Amino acid sequence: MKVTVEELAPCKKKIHVEVSKEEVEAKFQELYQELKEKAQLPGFRPGRAPLTLLKARFGGYVRDQVLEKLLPETYEKALEEAKVKPALEPKVTQVELEEGKEFTMVMEVETEPEFELDHRYTDLKVDEKSYTPSEEEVEGFLERMREQKANLSDREDGVAREGDLVVIDYQVELDGEPVEGKKGEGMSLILGRKETIPGFEEGILGRKVGETFSVEVEFPEDHYDKDLAGKRGVFVVTLKEVKERQLPELDDDFARSMGFDTLEDLRESVRKDLQAEYDRKAREEMVEQIKEQLLERYQFPLPPSPVEEKAAKRLDDEKFQYRLKGVDPDKADIDWEEKRKEIEKEVEREVRFSFILSKIAKAENIQVGEDELREEVEKVAQRLQRPLEEVADLMYRSGRLQGLSLDMLHERVLDFLLEKAKESPSQDEPDTEGEPSQTEESSQEGEGE
């Protein structure tokens, strides 16, 4: 087999492949022989039909079968001989197969980037981070749990008060005219949380079920809907329901309703959960430090398709979020071309970082075992309440299994890099203060001035 590699661009190659006509002919003859022994043609016993007749009757079928066998074999051997590692599935752009002639194939391949590590990844530096949740945060979390367990009952007088859950219909008007598409039915909100446009909730307080009334508002300049941003408008509101919220007492009975023996047990569980979140946050900040240093040290061209595909998907996801809000993304105050460029830059960083981590994994012989991957798939199957083999098959066919394996590998590499960085003798003093302590520190500095 003859293989010629043509450089199209960094990380993009065209591979020309030629298989000798003798090898091609051997494939044809092998299939014709199999066919000859099986074919039943009028006037001929099995195995006696002449080759000319077989070619006339089954030539097209045999060619397709030869191609089906020859293509994957040639494909794999060509990549191996060309010493190419595809970043994506190669595209076969040209195939020529004819009995008695050479088989030729041309494919375009986007390759993994080639760069030298030279062990500069072993002397990274990180400022160690550590945060601790405050007691105020723990109590705030418990308060939100109480709110989730609130009992709802209709207000006897039907009058909306702060803290009540209300259900409304509304229509937005500008200059006294209804704005098309700017209305809602059965919208629920809790008065006093300030989760809507300033002045809107205040306009509902004191109103009674069944009333229809107007609430004047001024839409913020940065409102997500550019048709309304910065304008004065009116919500014509119909108050459908008013529910009084009665929160349970924060005591052992409440804790037992949440599956704990005592309130202190519940409080400790909340504290541990918050600490786990802070530990993740600290790790993410240290990983970001690692990421910045690696991206600065290793510069190399990237295959374009992984960046383009990921950026396009992320852009579609952002537009979809606007549609979920009932807003046409093309009418939102967003320069989508500029947004696409921003997303592509960030995706380029992520793709480059991924290649660097994979290269380090290979250099340090860091791997993910099949048993470990299976354990993670089992967790997914348990969450979905589906059979393990079914979930594994779905993940494999969708590419998610390979993605999960890569994520696990990269996490392991990051653990390795963080450990190496923490061992560095030239560390600055670690920041071990939690967010509450940081606030106190800032306050003390202000007083000192």
The string of pLDDT tens digits covering residues 328-339 is 888 887 889 999
Burial of 27 (0-12, 13-18, 19+ CB in 10 A): buried
> Band of the pLDDT at 46, cuts 50, 70, 90?
low
With contact defined as beta carbons under 8 Å apart, do 291 and 283 qualify?
A: no
Position 446 pLDDT exceeds 70: no
With contact defined as beta carbons under 8 Å apart, do 166 and 204 qualify?
A: yes
Domains located in the chain, CATH noted = 2-110 (3.30.70.1050), 150-246 (3.10.50.40), 269-443 (1.10.3120)
**Which of 58-67, 193-202, 236-245 is least confident?**
58-67
Strand bridging mode 232-246 / 165-174:
antiparallel
Tokens representing 222? 């940065």
Mean pLDDT of all residues in 77-95:
88
Position 209 pLDDT exceeds 60: yes
pLDDT at 45: 62
Mean pLDDT of all residues in 42-62:
72
Q: Which helix (H) or strand (E) covers residue 234, if one does? A: strand 232-246
Most confident residue range from 31-35, 110-114, 275-279: 275-279
Position 44 pLDDT exceeds 90: no
Burial of 204 (0-12, 13-18, 19+ CB in 10 A): buried
Could you give the CA distance from residue 323 to residue 317 in angstroms, rounded to a whole number? 10
Coil/strand/helix, residue 326: coil
Position 263 pLDDT exceeds 70: yes
Could you give the CA distance from residue 70 to residue 72 in angstroms, rounded to a whole number? 6
Position 443 pLDDT exceeds 50: no
> Band of the pLDDT at 40, cuts 50, 70, 90?
low
With contact defined as beta carbons under 8 Å apart, do 212 and 237 qualify?
A: yes
CA angle 118, 123, 128 (to 5 degrees): 145
Q: Determine the distance from the C-alpha atom of residue 243 to the mean position of all C-alpha atoms in its chain, rounded to a whole number.
A: 38
Tokens representing 62? 């045999």
Percent helix / strand / coil, the chain, rounded to 5: 50, 20, 30
Tokens representing 38? 């099986």
Of 187, 216, 222, the C-alpha closest to 203 is 216
Mean pLDDT of all residues in 41-50:
65
pLDDT at 268: 97
pLDDT at 59: 80
Could you give the CA distance from residue 238 to residue 173 in angstroms, rounded to a whole number? 14
| Per-residue pLDDT tens digits for 387-439 | 999 999 999 888 889 899 999 999 999 999 999 998 765 544 444 444 443 43
DSSP class of 176: T
Q: Which helix (H) or strand (E) covers residue 181, if one does? A: strand 177-190
> Band of the pLDDT at 42, cuts 50, 70, 90?
low
> Band of the pLDDT at 28, cuts 50, 70, 90?
confident
CA angle 212, 213, 216 (to 5 degrees): 150
Mean pLDDT of all residues in 80-106:
89
Q: Is the pTM of this model over 0.75?
A: no
> Band of the pLDDT at 440, cuts 50, 70, 90?
very low
Mean pLDDT of all residues in 280-284:
96
- With a pLDDT cut of 70, the percent of the chain lying above it is 92
Could you give the CA distance from residue 73 to residue 23 in angstroms, rounded to a whole number? 12
**What is the residue-averaged pLDDT of the chain?**
88
- With a pLDDT cut of 90, the percent of the chain lying above it is 62
Name the region of 364 (left: φ>0; alpha: ψ -120 to 50; beta: rest).
Answer: alpha
> Band of the pLDDT at 41, cuts 50, 70, 90?
low
Tokens representing 220? 């913020």
pLDDT at 430: 44
Higher pLDDT: 54 or 271? It is: 271
